């Protein structure tokens, strides 16, 4: 079966760094997305990885290891507005996005 695992909830302090992990087992791999979703709102795109390595975009970075079926999202200089759920999604061999249940990130002052 297809499976994407993320921690359910994480807590971090404003100004700190947090790493949200995602492991996946899917039928094929055609890329991995990270989305941010604030409570009651729609998901919005953060990053896309298809090759191994680190992609940096401002305060957010995303890493991929295809051989390990593993990705992480790194958030630096945390701000209160970063409190949200972070969704990991993988394109499988059927060209459909398989989504993890998301990680709720709570930022404390």
Partner 1 sequence: IAGITQAPTSQILAAGRRMTLRCTQDMRHNAMYWYRQDLGLGLRLIHYSNTAGTTGKGEVPDGYSVSRANTDDFPLTLASAVPSQTSVYFCASSESGGAEDTQYFGPGTRLTVL
Q: Given the rule CB under 8 A, which residues bind partner 1?
A: 4, 30-31, 33, 41-45, 48, 50, 87, 89, 91, 95-102
Nearer to partner 1, 73 or 78 (CB): 73
Closest contact distance (angstroms) between CB of 17 and partner 1 is 25
Nearer to partner 1, 41 or 77 (CB): 41
First to last CA, the chain: 40
Cα–Cα distance between 3 and 25 in angstroms, integer?
5
Cβ atoms 35, 86 nearer than 8 A: yes
Residue 109's nearest CA partner among 14, 27, 39, 15 is 14
Nearer to partner 1, 10 or 97 (CB): 97
Nearer to partner 1, 78 or 103 (CB): 103
Closest contact distance (angstroms) between CB of 30 and partner 1 is 4
């Amino acid at each position: 079966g297809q499976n994407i695992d993320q921690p359910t909830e994480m807590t971090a302090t404003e100004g700190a760094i947090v790493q949200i992990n995602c492991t996946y087992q899917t039928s094929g791999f055609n890329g991995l997305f990270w989305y941010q979703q604030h409570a009651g709102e729609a998901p919005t795109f953060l990053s896309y990885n298809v090759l191994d390595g680190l992609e940096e975009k401002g305060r957010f970075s995303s890493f991929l290891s295809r051989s390990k079926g593993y990705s992480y999202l790194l958030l630096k200089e945390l701000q209160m507005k970063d409190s949200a759920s972070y969704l990991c999604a993988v394109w499988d061999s059927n060209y459909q996005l398989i989504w993890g249940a998301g990680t709720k990130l709570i930022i404390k002052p």
